[in-house]
Structure 1
Amino acid sequence: MLVLLPPSETKRDGGDGPPLDLAALSHDADLGPVRADLCDELVALAGDRPAARAALGVSQRQDAEIDRNAALRTNPTLPALDRYTGVLYDALDAGSFTRATRDRARSRLAVCSALFGLLGADDPIPPYRLSAGSKLPGSGTLAARWRPALDPLLARIADGELVVDLRSGGYAALGTVPGAVTVNVLARRPDGSRSVVSHHNKSHKGGLARLLATSRAEPADAGAVARIARRAGHVVERDGDHLDLVIPA
């Protein structure tokens, strides 16, 4: 089983790993050329602050994000799961994995990044700023650039194992996973009706990712994923390959 996570806008500074080595990242044979092009463009774009702000959707007060991109190839690295922060990654809490669960969890978790494509949990990356909705000058959308590389890679992965896709819409557009288990978080109102959860969506998906990453079970389909979540006390409704986590409004 592979649990596919979105990245986060917020990223931890620093690191104790060597500078970025694209060839050391997972799936280099499939994704290396797109990664190299995007890294080169981000570093060059950092030299033009107004253009970088417009492309990345940041303000002048966030110029430190552009500085990160300028030093993309020289800054120290951290494993991807340690680099990303924020609500989903707080709920995942990978730093608290026990020794017994760490290897299992890290082999099951992957991150879909706008800059690097598909990352393994331990892939060493520097801090950077690039979102799925960013548009670099003189080029197409990131989805248009990534899909020719990510679609066949994700199809091969999905042909060999179950994929639970927890990505948000913008990151799901970077590459399609045939037959993936998808998940929404819904709030149940007192009258029984449902509404999509936005504020706590990431937290609940992070909690589910933690359950799946550390479970001794090896689920083969959406029903088995639902059973793992239900045993942990979640209310889960299933419709084919799609699951809804239902929480009180």
Structure 2
Amino acid sequence: MLVLLPPSEGKTAPAAGGPVLDLGTLSAPALNPWRERVLDALAEVSRRPDALEVLGVSAGLADEVARNTRLRTAATAPARRVYSGVLYAAAGLDRLTPAQRARATATVRIVSGLWGVVTPEDLIPAYRLSMGTTLDGVGALASGWRPHLGQVLDTEVADGVVVDCRSAAYAAAWRPAQPSHWVAVRVLREHAGRRTVVSHHAKHTRGLLVRHLITRRSRAPRDADELAGAATELVGTALTTASRADDTAVPRVLAVELDAPPRSGARQLSLVVS
């Protein structure tokens, strides 16, 4: 099993005084030459007057863009602590037992516009860069990373199932060469007999699935059908721990459905929520 995650937009900057960035310690060292190029290109554009426009961020994130110019000397922390968005809060990769953490390190890969791919234990600084960005000297990041990620991830996938929780921009950077067990996770909202694709609760629900796959005691799923079976164990799970007077109003996982194999591309694992 290989679980693919996007990075979170929000990141927690590591405390000063921690170890500084050392590309030589990151997993997938074959990616380091391209990581070097992207790092240099990001630092260069982040010094420009039009940096906010090129990186597609608002003026309120100017300090984070400025931090991009100092990444080589910035303090680092495990990626599971740096990425701090809704999906990561639900996945709780920083709240695992040693055995579960080892399982996460072996199976979870975070696809990044800056690093290509990292494990939850790789030491990285906080940064601001989306996979949808185009950088001078590098080009569009998704297409630039594609051949390099293929060399790394095609080997890691082997014949196991790929649990794809990435957004479209990050999915564009790599697709399994043999997609027979490639499963994209989507979240549907069911209301009054209708189902719609929603963003609300989607990241949180994907995070719950990731945590379940990492912490469950059973053998890791080996194919799409076993993945669907594992995901079905979440049916009835509440999507929030907030106390409410009427417990029936708490959103929950209602059902799990696996689409039939397509002619090409990923199968869809749908988590239906109330």
Q: What TM bracket, shorter-length normalisation?
A: over 0.9
Contact 2:37 2:138 in 1 (8 A): no
CA distance in 1, matches of 2:99, 2:157: 26
Partner of 2:126: 127
Between 1:135-144 and 1:172-181, the stretch displaced more is 135-144
**SS of equivalent to 1:73:** helix
Between 1:168-177 and 1:237-246, the stretch displaced more is 237-246
- TM-score normalised according to structure 2 size: 0.84
1:247 aligns with 2:273: yes
CA distance in 2, matches of 1:104, 1:139: 34
CA distance in 2, matches of 1:232, 1:185: 13
**SS of equivalent to 1:94:** coil
- 1:100 deviation in Å? 4.1
Q: How does 1:60-75 map to 2 (within 5 A)?
A: 60-75=59-74
CA distance in 1, matches of 2:229, 2:3: 16
- TM-score normalised according to structure 1 size: 0.92
- 1:138 deviation in Å? 5.2
Query: Which residue among 218, 223, 226 is the counterpart of 1:224?
Result: 226
CA distance in 2, matches of 1:94, 1:63: 29
Identity percentage of aligned residues? 43
Contact 1:185 1:246 in 2 (8 A): yes
**SS of equivalent to 1:54:** helix
Deviation per CA, 1:205-246: give whole Å up to 9, x if none.
Answer: 011010111223221111111111212324110113321111
Between 1:193-202 and 1:110-119, the stretch displaced more is 193-202
- 1:40 deviation in Å? 0.8
Partner of 2:214: 213
**SS of equivalent to 1:85:** coil
CA distance in 2, matches of 1:135, 1:175: 17
Deviation per CA, 1:30-50: give whole Å up to 9, x if none.
Answer: x111110000111122222x2
**SS of equivalent to 1:4:** strand
Q: How does 1:1-249 map to 2 (within 5 A)?
A: 1-15=1-15, 17-29=18-30, 31-48=31-48, 50-137=49-136, 139-177=138-176, 178-179=178-179, 180-191=182-193, 193-216=194-217, 217-233=219-235, 234=253, 235-239=255-259, 240=261, 241-248=267-274
CA distance in 1, matches of 2:195, 2:234: 21
CA distance in 2, matches of 1:5, 1:175: 12
Contact 1:17 1:124 in 2 (8 A): no
Between 1:38-47 and 1:11-20, the stretch displaced more is 11-20
Between 1:62-71 and 1:123-132, the stretch displaced more is 62-71
Deviation per CA, 1:53-112: give whole Å up to 9, x if none.
Answer: 111112333211112101100111011111101110111122222344222233221100
Contact 1:229 1:236 in 2 (8 A): yes
CA distance in 2, matches of 1:17, 1:107: 25
Contact 1:92 1:207 in 2 (8 A): yes
- 1:160 deviation in Å? 4.4
Amino acid at match of 1:96: R
How many residues are matched? 245
**SS of equivalent to 2:94:** helix
Contact 1:55 1:137 in 2 (8 A): no
CA distance in 1, matches of 2:34, 2:215: 32
CA distance in 1, matches of 2:140, 2:50: 16
CA distance in 2, matches of 1:68, 1:92: 27
- 1:195 deviation in Å? 0.8
Amino acid at match of 1:231: E
- 1:200 deviation in Å? 1.3
CA distance in 1, matches of 2:157, 2:104: 18
Contact 2:82 2:124 in 1 (8 A): yes
Gaps of 5+ in 2: 236-252, 262-266
CA distance in 2, matches of 1:144, 1:153: 15
